[in-house]
Amino acid sequence: MRQFIRKLGLARSIIFFSSISVAFSVAATFLVEIFLMRWDFQLNFIVGLMISIGISLTITPLMSFYMVRLFLEVDRLEEEMRVLATYDSLTGLLTRREFNERVNYFHKIAQRDNLTYSLIIADLDNFKDINDHFGHQIGDQTLKTLGLAIQDTLRESDLACRYGGDEFTFFLPNTDSAQAKIFCDRLQAIIQESISYIGLNIDLTASIGIASYPENNADFLDDMIGRADTAMYAVKKTGGNQSRLFSYTNHLKH
């Protein structure tokens, strides 16, 4: 409907809907008068005019109500779709697509102005144990609690995303590798606090990979994500529960 209105334009849309209202009113008036005449009701100009006005005043608000309700419903559905496309429904963090779009924009600015930022990928080490021992409902509650705790920790300029399953990504502007390491230590503490908050007796940690720009100079954001991902998987192979920085010289260093 909205596309139809856009195609018509404002003036023609008003004329179109007004014409429909008039047509319905005239048709309804005609039917009412035929019905009354069948009952030998004598109609004169004044009575006919009152019937026409009364029907118009009844039909027009009803049609307006329908159209307004339709547009409000469309707006509500579009807003829900925007929210679902922007934020993960479980954790409240950004979706993967939204995160990539925003960070890609910042990456281009960093290239142009030689700015510093850090990209972090964190994968929960033994989250599967929560689902296996306590059920998926508790697993979802854990992710939800962790998402809220992450939001409370971030600076206004930071971005966080549920990248998929139990994997999270972070974009920290104006943050070098040393500062990113401090953030990762705090993130490990946040994970433990979230587990304690919901009363689980399990040691949940994360394997975390860091790629900092321009220490890792990259033409494309995907390269930065790939390097942080490489660092994260190297941590996984050594038992997890730590963070590492991707480096050109030896690929990984503490």
| DSSP state at residue 123 | E
Give 252's contacts (C-beta < 8 A, 6+ positions apart): 230, 231, 234, 244, 245, 246
Location of structure tokens 């963070």: 243
Instruction: For residue 4, name the pLDDT band (cuts at 50, 70, 90).
Output: low
Q: Which residues pair with 246 in a beta bridge?
A: 252
- Verify that 127 and 70 share a domain, yes or no: no
CATH number of the domain bearing residue 210: 3.30.70.270
Q: Alpha carbon of 18 to those of 24, 238, 241: distances in Å?
A: 10, 72, 67
Model pLDDT for residues 49-107, shown as the tens digit of each residue:
555 656 565 666 666 666 666 666 666 666 666 656 689 989 999 999 999 999 999 99
Mark whether 236 and 114 lie in a shared domain: yes
User: Residue 79 phi/psi, 5° resolution?
Assistant: -65, -40
Answer whether residue 140 shows pLDDT above 80.
yes
Rounded CA-CA distance 232/222 in Å is 15
Question: Looking at residues 118-147, what average pLDDT do you find?
Answer: 90
Q: Quick check: is 91 in a domain?
A: no
Does residue 110 share a domain with residue 51?
no
Are 106 and 76 contained in the same domain? no
Residues 9 and 122 in one domain: no
| Domain range enclosing 54 | 2-86
Examine the domain organization and report whether 145 and 237 are in the same domain: yes
Same domain as 125, residue 54: no
The model carries a pTM of 0.70
pLDDT > 60? residue 166: yes
Backbone angles phi, psi at 47, to 5 degrees: -65, -45
Same domain, 79 and 140: no
Which two three-digit tokens encode residue 56? 């118009």
Number of domains in the chain: 2
